Amino acid sequence: MTTICVLCGGVGAARFLRGLLRVVPPSDITAIVNTADDMRLHGLAISPDLDTCTYTLAEVINPETGWGLVGETWQAKETLDRYGGQTWFGLGDRDLGTHLYRTQRLDEGATLADVTREITAAWDLELNVLPMSNDSVRTRVTLTSGETIDFQRYFVERQHADAVRHVEFAGADRARPAPGVLAAIQNADCVVIAPSNPFVSIDPILSVPGIRDAVVQRRERNVAISPIVGGGAVKGPAADLMRSFGHEVSAAGVAALYQPLAAHLVIDTVDDHLAPAVSETGMTPHVTNTMMTAIDVTTALAEFTIATVDPTASRSV
């Protein structure tokens, strides 16, 4: 048995997990998901990255939007529009049911991990999906204008168009890893840092006391997948943030960031020429197609990724 633990943001991580499920039995996979993007809106507890992972793996993600549920309708939003309510964060009618359920269960005293287990089970997912923490951690983005705003305001409402000075994870210092998180990291045969945003998806997970240490301590059996391909982000503001924070926007820049965390870095074939620069940081580069545009590519990427740590690990399931 080869057990895999994946540190996850949203879309990129969800796609990677979809491939991983084709090469490792679900019971051997633990996904630890960023919850610093979570928010309360309209009184509802919304966990975007958890839901993106769940919906993607359940094959019910909305292909038109990349988030929310397939077959979505927008009746609640139309009523909100009538009132001049806040509609910048898209909440489809089907998707609302998930937020209603989560909110009710949290109000009843369930933990976010409890609710996540219930929701993933209801979608017949067999892998172990864990929020990074049951405690509230919130990514706050300080813009170069000096204004500090919640992550979803930056990411969704303003379409991550603002220049960012820094990000912080409010509440992280008091947060505890969700039950099972540290053990999953410590006991996995391979820890994968998914191709997610280093600053606003992976860093918040590592900001929960205990998690970074647990990852660093087993560096030799950890592998990251570069979210930067050909000098740009596959999706989202990762490239802009790297630039803002003074890092080289390349797979080599990612290596410089991730080298304390993992011995291995998977980079795209277009970045083949950067392999020496990656090596210079102390990470071992591994080159393959990382563009998860089709499930076969994604499956091959998953197999390739875990083989960087243990060449005998993967097999088709």
Q: Which residues here bind its own copies, judged by CB under 8 A? A: 40-45, 69, 72-73, 75-86, 91-101, 103-104, 106-107, 118-119, 122-123
- Least distance between its own copies and beta carbon 189 (Å): 33
Sequence-distant (6+) residues with CB within 8 A of 102 are 44, 45, 46, 47, 112, 115, 119
Query: Judged by CB, which is closer to its own copies: 82, or 311?
Result: 82
**Strand 128-131 and strand 284-288: pairing?**
unpaired
Query: Judged by CB, which is closer to its own copies: 138, or 247?
Result: 138
Contact assessment for residue 188 and residue 306, using Cβ atoms and an 8 Å cutoff? no
- Least distance between its own copies and beta carbon 44 (Å): 6
Query: Judged by CB, which is closer to its own copies: 41, or 143?
Result: 41
3-state secondary structure of 88: coil
- Least distance between its own copies and beta carbon 139 (Å): 20
- Least distance between its own copies and beta carbon 216 (Å): 37
At position 150, the amino acid (one-letter code) is: D
Query: Judged by CB, which is closer to its own copies: 52, or 207?
Result: 52
Nearest partner of 156 among 50, 66, 239, judged by Cα = 66
Q: Strands across the sheet with 284-288, in order?
A: 128-131, 29-33, 4-8, 190-193, 222-225, 264-268, 284-288
Query: Judged by CB, which is closer to its own copies: 44, or 156?
Result: 44
Q: What is the largest CA-CA distance in the chain?
A: 59
Nearest-10 Cα torsion for 210, 212, 213, 217: 140
Coarse DSSP helix, strand, coil percentages of the chain, rounded to the nearest 5 percent: 40, 20, 40
Query: Judged by CB, which is closer to its own copies: 98, or 250?
Result: 98
- Least distance between its own copies and beta carbon 72 (Å): 8
Contact assessment for residue 30 and residue 4, using Cβ atoms and an 8 Å cutoff? yes
- Least distance between its own copies and beta carbon 146 (Å): 23
Query: Judged by CB, which is closer to its own copies: 82, or 161?
Result: 82
- Least distance between its own copies and beta carbon 79 (Å): 2
